[in-house]
A and B are shown apart, each in its own frame.
Chain A
Amino acid sequence: MTTVWAGLATGAIYSLIAIGYNVVLLASGTFNFAHAQLLMVGTFLAYTGAVTFGLPVLPTVLLAAAGVAVIALVEERVAIRPLLGRTDSHGTLITTVGAATVLDGLAAAIWGRQPLTVPSVLPDEPLTLLGGTVRPVDLALIGFTLVVGVGLHLWSRHTLTGLASLASAEDRDAASARGINVRLLGVGAFAVAGAVAGVFGLLVGARTYAVFDLGHSLALFGFVAIAIGGSGSQLGGLIGGFATGLVYAFAARYIGAAYPQIVVFGVFLLILFLRPRGLFGAALERRV
């Protein structure tokens, strides 16, 4: 059961990444490769707030949320908006990888290349729960991720803004013609995704350390979560993230320390091969 808790806690981080991808994907149709880097910056800002400035929890969280939201907005302005309306869609493949790399490089230059320990805001002694042990901070991570994931899912299905976002992901021009401010939605999505990543900086950092290349593996596992859950499905991404985390934890526990990545890669290839739309995704038809 301890392995399950560890898997769920790691998986929560992957779910967060998948949720971030989906928020932007649903609103603007762009896949923001750099989202994992936003979470990475969130862990550093949490470190800066909690350790360097010695702030209490709430101001630290607010600082990280605001900081990452601003960075996400800058990224949207620099790496995404100039490409809107171009006919070939693979421009953002390059620019979002570019933005991610710049963020990696800046983080390494500002905070150094050594991992920094982000303090845990909750007591460190593990709890025994359902026959396994889990740190309170990990439990909080799992819980808050569930709340945010389910919340965003309900929001996108049941509020006007959420539905507008779904509509504009489906067809920007048609949504625009219906009076939806497509651009504002896209920008808003980046801000929301950034803020969520920032809020979780403290909890994620407590589990992973703050380190400049954190984004690489998170981007990959977040994408595996999307592949399992189907792109654009918030609930799918949430479940996919937890599933990925569990696979990772069990492979590490029962096969060996060098294997979890390889096993997850194998699962990833299998899913792409057998169910390319994900386990929860619906088939889309392309149109002319």
Chain B
Amino acid sequence: MNALIHRFRPLGVLLLLVLLLVAPTVGLLDGYWSRTVMLIAILSLLVSGLNVVLGYAGELAMGQVALYAVGAYVAGYLGVEFGLTNVLVALVAAMLAAVVVGLITGIPGLRLGGWSLAMVTFFLVTLVPNLVDVFSDVTGGTLGMATAVPTLFGIEIVGDRLYWLVILVVIAWFTVARNLLLSRHGNMFLVLRQSPILASVLGVSVYRLKLLVYVVGAIPAALAGALFSMLDGFIAPDTFTFALALSVLAASVVGGATSVYGAIAGAAVMQLGQQTFTQFQTWQLVIYGAFLLIAGIAFNRGLVGLAQDGLAAARRRGWLPNRPATAAAPGGDEPVKTPLEPLDGVVLRTEGLSKSFGGNRALDDVTIEARPGEVTALIGPNGSGKTTLLNLICGLYKPSGGRLLLGDQQIGGQPTYRIARYGVARTFQTPLIPKDMSTLAFVATGRYMNHKVGILPAILRLPVFRRGYAADDERAMALLRLVGIADVAGKQVNSLALGTRRLVEVARSLASGARVFLFDEVGSGLDESDLAVLERAIGMIREAGGTVILVEHNFPLVLKLADRIHVLSQGKLLASGPPAHIQADRRVLAEYTGATDLPEEPDDAHAPATPKGAN
């Protein structure tokens, strides 16, 4: 029964789509309703474009309406002025125009993040009437412009044929959106939304990825505009209002911004609400605003989120058949003994590295070296500069002085994503974990940069995409097994406990095949068994020839793991040496225990004391 349902699911979807297509022809939809369906379809294009930007990249783009206008006027102008009434030409031209406008507004608007893009795009919407007025020769000004009858290879696209065109374009767009968003790229967008820092540490240029997402989101809006101009046969600036922009935003959050099909649900709610309730006009703004407030605070996954929760609950209670187990973890959660493949470790050296914040010298003239096949530990009290040093190494901070060398290459001051691409991976004191993603998928994002599958193969679901995906999953699964948490592969990664999150981050950093690993207090919050797994994992990275830099408060763990320890105190390097040496160093002891009454020793503390417990 279960298998049957799932076997025929694609077929069922296909049947529904065919039914939707023929509905007006066979008399299921009258003129009013077929127009309503077309309007919902067009609105859902606008909403879907916003979802891509807002739900996946976390940027608010209010300019969908302006792009809608661009699409409508471009299509209209081509038809009226040049007699280019072919719908394919109109749609392609609208898309190109959307890309151009997207770049012009996105390049400055995304420089800063936060509200800049929202304001630039909002501004664009309010400019529509001005621009229409300024270019009134082309646009017909405030009076509007009647468009030519659209055609396709000589056939007039009107009536049912226009209905088919609209539905087919919408199906095509949603296929593209689904294939893009449900891929590593979509996962990376989600990482970007949660934490641009994490995205850059994974080797992604935040700015470029945001620009890409924004431009992609502009395309459906322009398509919608072109379709709208064909549907109404008339374009006037009073269609493209700020109220429409707000209704798109409200539809997005009502349907669920972080979903592919939520756009259709949200668009349907808005369109039907508008048509059904005569009071809607008066209270329109209050309703939109209330939707935004409620959705923003209470249920930020929208209708789709509610539906998913409902389905999950129904499955738990046995009202609905369960999903077939998705690629269950083969082999269970026993940590495996298979060693890592060799890692191409590289020497990382700081030379007189310094960092000041204003007058505060957080790191002062620190020279250390971390060698491949060794674990280099940084210890020191809170505020001694350990994390500052890690932030400098991975490029989150720019050095105020000194050099940072990866092999022979000076990498200090380069952007984070570039340093990540050289093979520097890191974990965070507070693990950075995205929402709406499985653990397996999150670990696989570590491979995003180095095992890249392009966007086009993802959209077209080419074999190369399938192979890449399978390889990513296999690798991620193997790494989860390595750190002993294969059982959580299918769980939402943000539902995991802190200790497990740390292990997930270790797996994620390994997935990139990095050369240098920066582990920031990776042991804190782990219980005994997790610590044992972590110890073994770090041991394996060392065996495999990786360069490990470990920041850790757990002194026994450091003594056990480290080949070389550097002690920082108030931004300065206090001592360096093998564990036995450090353990015997009185200054380190004083720094750690706060003891000042230790017996004074006249000799230089750098001289090795009696080695005890040396390994």
Contact = CB atoms under 8 A, between A and B. Distances in A.
Do A and B belong to a common assembly? yes
A93 interface: yes
A98 B397 contact: no
Contacts of A258: 130, 133-134
Contacts of A108: 285
B603 to A, nearest CB: 40
B287 A95 contact: no
Contacts of A82: 297
B283 interface: yes
Contacts of B520: 288
Main secondary structure of the interface of A (DSSP, over half): helix
B112 A98 contact: no
B429 A269 contact: no
B289 interface: yes
Given A88-B58, A220-B123, A286-B197, A269 B108 contact: yes
Nearest to B122: A220
A78 B131 contact: no
A216 B391 CA distance: 41
Interface string A252-272: 000000110110010011101
A88 B435 contact: yes
B293 A288 contact: no
A272 B112 contact: yes
B342 interface: no
A95 B289 CA distance: 8
B435 A91 contact: no
A248 interface: no
A220 B194 CA distance: 27
Contact of B111 (A78, A100, A273): A273
Nearest to A108: B285
Interface string B110-124: 011011101110111
Contacts of B391: 287-288
Contacts of A99: 289, 293
Interface string B30-69: 0000000000000000000000001000111000000000
A269 B120 contact: yes
B115 A101 contact: no
B285 A262 contact: no
Contact of A220 (B119, B246, B297): B119
B105 interface: yes
Nearest to A222: B119
Contacts of B127: 261-262, 265
A276 interface: yes
B164 interface: no
B249 interface: yes
Contact of B284 (A83, A105, A265, A268): A105
Interface residues of A, number: 50
Interface string B292-333: 110111001000000000000000000000000000000000
Contacts of B108: 268-270, 272-273, 276
A268 B120 CA distance: 8
Contact of B119 (A88, A91, A223, A262): A223
B291 interface: yes
Interface string A1-40: 0000000000000000000000000000001010000000
B235 interface: no
B197 A101 contact: no
Interface in B367-416: 387, 391, 396-398
B286 A91 contact: no
A94 B295 contact: yes
B282 interface: yes
B293 A285 contact: no
Contacts of A105: 283-289
A276 B285 contact: no
A90 B56 CA distance: 12
A87 B285 contact: no
B449 interface: no
A277 B194 CA distance: 23
B115 A288 contact: no
A88 B193 contact: yes
B253 interface: yes
Q: Which of B193, B289, B292 counts the most chain A CB atoms within 10 A?
A: B289
B242 interface: yes
B126 interface: yes
A269 B111 CA distance: 10
B109 interface: yes
5 contacts: A78-B293, A88-B193, A97-B60, A101-B288, A285-B398
Interface of A: 31, 33, 78-79, 82-83, 87-88, 90-95, 97-106, 108-109, 213, 216-217, 219-220, 223-224, 227, 258-259, 261-262, 265, 268-270, 272-273, 276-277, 285-288
- Lowest 9 CB-CB distances: which A-B pairs, in order? A98-B292, A105-B285, A101-B289, A102-B289, A105-B286, A94-B296, A272-B108, A98-B293, A95-B296
Interface of B: 54, 58-60, 104-105, 107-109, 111-112, 114-116, 118-120, 122-124, 126-127, 130-131, 133-134, 193-194, 197, 242, 246, 249, 253, 282-293, 295-297, 300, 357, 387, 391, 396-398, 428-429, 435, 520
